[in-house]
Amino acid sequence: MTARIIDGKAIAQEVRAEWKARADALKARGIVPGLAVIIVGEDPASKVYVANKVKACAELGLHSEHIVMPADTSEAALLGRIAALNADPKIHGILVQLPVPRHIDSGKVLEAISPDKDVDGFHPVNVGALATGNMRFAPCTPYGAMKLLEKSGVSIEGKHAVVIGRSNIVGKPMAMLLLQANATVTICTSKTVDLAKFTRDADILVVATGKPKMITGDMIKPGAAVIDVGINRMADGKLCGDVDFDSAKEVAGWITPVPGGVGPMTITMLVANTVRSAERTVG
């Protein structure tokens, strides 16, 4: 059996078109959805991510502000900037790219963003809202992974979903979203004993470990849907996921490639959250 390849680029285009129509409808009422993206410091990967986020907003005709702050920015200065954006009616979404430099407390920063403009879904109020089934902003990467499953026709209800990774950005919110969709959810970590025992029982397997190609075909249940959240750069410069694509695709029923799987969805769902936030301002 060879898996169906889940084409993240194509699905992202389709989902973006849906949200562009919603953004256009708002614009017709005089509201341009606006996103502010703040980057502190010079992390090269973060710079690329932030530039892509701002570019996606421009492509959909959203207002965007790209705020670059030097690495030695004080915590107080960053919090001041966030407070100003919280009060700015042109801005419906605020994102501070993580990681921030070590002298800044990321928890304080995330709590300073108004929960109504927290398009990353990282504020404790929004984390709690997701956990209690009253979701307002789902974190973009797991939200995008859920969309990939939905658009590919993978049924979730009653299925065993296994998430490997427990980060606040991916693993934990992914588990919450799957639970909300009535999956039976197991969360595994790097400490899990006999990981393959769990992965081989997964109807849906979401891998977010940051370890290149660690999940191989022999660890996958035949016919499973495999969502690979990893992006790793190999010694030869090529990108690969946390799943060994070549062996996994011979066993899985569906699989996301890297690149071109989950990646394009993350930014798409950021745009979606920003438009949704702007919609809420008009009821």
The annotation places the binding site for NADP(+) at: 165-167, 231
Residues 135 and 121: their CA atoms lie apart, in Å, by 9
Residue 97 is among the residues annotated as catalytic for this protein: yes
Q: Which two tokens stand for residue 260?
A: 């071109």
Annotated binding-site positions: 165-167, 231
The single residue among 3, 91, 112, 140 that binds ligand GUN, judged by CB under 6 A, is 140
**Binding residues for ligand GUN, total number by CB under 6 A:** 8
**Taking the complex as a whole, how short is the minimal distance between the CB of residue 152 and ligand GUN, in angstroms?**
22
Residues 82 and 95: their CA atoms lie apart, in Å, by 9
Strand residues in the chain grouped as ranges (E): 4-5, 34-40, 63-69, 93-96, 160-164, 184-188, 204-207, 225-228, 232-233, 239-240, 254-255
Closest CA to 115 of 98, 133, 93, 100: 93
Residue 180 is among the residues annotated as catalytic for this protein: no
Instruction: Give the three-state DSSP class for 221.
Output: coil
Does residue number 120 form part of the binding site for ligand GUN (CB under 6 A)?
yes
**Taking the complex as a whole, how short is the minimal distance between the CB of residue 45 and ligand GUN, in angstroms?**
8
Does residue number 85 form part of the binding site for ligand GUN (CB under 6 A)?
no
Phi and psi, residue 96, nearest 5°? -105, 115
Range in contact with ligand GUN (rule: CB under 6 A) among 94-102, 199-207, 215-223, 241-249: 94-102
Q: 7, 97, 242, 244: which is the annotated catalytic residue? A: 97
- Residue 76 exposed, middle or buried by CB count within 10 Å (0-12, 13-18, 19+): exposed
Residue 53 is among the residues annotated as catalytic for this protein: yes
> Which residues are CB-neighbours of 212 under 8 A, at least 6 positions away?
230, 232, 234, 240, 241, 242
**Taking the complex as a whole, how short is the minimal distance between the CB of residue 110 and ligand GUN, in angstroms?**
9
Q: 7, 116, 118, 120: which is the annotated catalytic residue? A: 120
Binding mask 161-180 for ligand GUN (x = CB under 6 A): --------x-----------
Range in contact with ligand GUN (rule: CB under 6 A) among 79-87, 89-97, 145-153, 207-215: 89-97
Range in contact with ligand GUN (rule: CB under 6 A) among 90-98, 172-180, 210-218, 249-257: 90-98
Does residue number 268 form part of the binding site for ligand GUN (CB under 6 A)?
no
Binding mask 95-114 for ligand GUN (x = CB under 6 A): xxxx----------------
Residues 137 and 274: their CA atoms lie apart, in Å, by 9
> Which residues are CB-neighbours of 231 under 8 A, at least 6 positions away?
239, 241, 258, 259, 263
Judge contact between 265 and 107, C-beta under 8 A: no
Does residue number 141 form part of the binding site for ligand GUN (CB under 6 A)?
yes
Positions marked active-site: 53, 97, 120
- Give the residues lining the site for ligand GUN (CB under 6 A): 95-98, 120, 140-141, 169
